[in-house]
Chain A
Amino acid sequence: MIKKIFRVEDMHCSNCALKLESLEEILEGVKEINASYHKLEMVVEYDENKLTEVEIVRAVKKKGYTAALA
């Protein structure tokens, strides 16, 4: 398991953080996602053998946001 922080600059309310956290149930290999609108970032704990950074960024994109490694 690895923990990485992604900056999501285009979050504009707490709803966005909730939307991003709901990726927990969609992305295989994710253990936990903690998104914060206050900090404009999301901390993703995931299995690097099952998931890549690119896939996370792509999933975030599908939710309507742009993520970049912090």
Chain B
Amino acid sequence: MILVVFFLVIVNIFLWAFAISNSVGVMTKRRLARRRMIIATIIVVVAAIAILYPVASMIGGSFASKQVSRNIPEVKPGNFFNVIKTMAKNLVPIEGKRMNIKQEYIDAAVASRSSTNIRLETAPYSVYEMEIDGKRMHLAKIGKEGSKWLYLNEDDLSEVHLAVPASEEQRVKAVKFTWTNYPDALSKGDFGRYVMNSLILVVINTIGALVSSTLVAYGFSRFKFKGRGWLFMVLLSTMMLPAQVSLIPSFIIYTKLGWYGTYLPLTVAAYFAASPWNVFLMRQFFMGLPLELDEAAKIDGCGPMGILTKVIVPQSTAVMLTITLSTAVFWWNDYFYSLIYLQDQKMYPVALGLTAFDAKYFNNSSLKAAATVMMLVPPITLFFFQKFFIQGTVISGVKG
């Protein structure tokens, strides 16, 4: 319900933007266009922030140290600026501030108290914001004296205060990045092994998909044979086929073959052009390549295999890259197939491993965040090649 209202509001803003830009008659066309552009930019920026926010807050969380207990954000009804502030705070790891103090200041402070009932803390010392004699100051707690706490003024370390114990809310907050979550996640919960497993799966499947779909697409695009159109229709219709229909028998067959719990069920199919999308994409691309080069190569004495490796493949780096990237991302992200076919946790690829990791370290949210971010990094890195992804989506989407 709330979502629908929220959505209607967005649509309204959008329509309203049009209404303004249309109703003002005196405006010149250029000013109208500029105004429309500004409104569009604002909406796009807000939407982009909404998309990035979950990712960014996860990245922020991955740098927090384990000891930080999350505070429930303070609600100020109607104050939406506070929302923005809190959201921004979630993006950076914030902890209670701690500081180191030279031993001479500590010794001087203890000497100045001349009490035997002092129990000193160990460094680093927590810093609190407190009001003493009507003055707000930052005080570092160095120890206890009886029921009171002993503080040093952060700005003037020779200034000693004895005051009531401070509460956790009075802790001075500071941004502090902890880098150790990343190496910890890799070494602790087998996460490094999961990453390696995924890389193996990605490489094997990508090679299989590339080789097999190139061969099949070449067969479909460059040779005339009986039943070609019919077979291609079968190939296209398998795109629409829900995977579940063949999933259960495949599972049974693989189990009978003794392949359950190995990588074979996850990889073998790739070598037999299992993805009709790849074949379709590749065939569309090959159809667009000029036939004259094939003819020239044929005259020079190239056989069909020679034409494929010397003429077609060198021209097809773009579509090959598209397929490489989409296959790699698919297998890096795969959860369903590995969940079904793998048993041993040591063989888990990264997506399935992440859920195991999540269950094991359920109370260490920053370690989990670090692992999640590591799983995010490769697909985001591949973003530099986004042109090829988008090309793939567009070719299969629009021309199909």
Chain B binds chain A: no
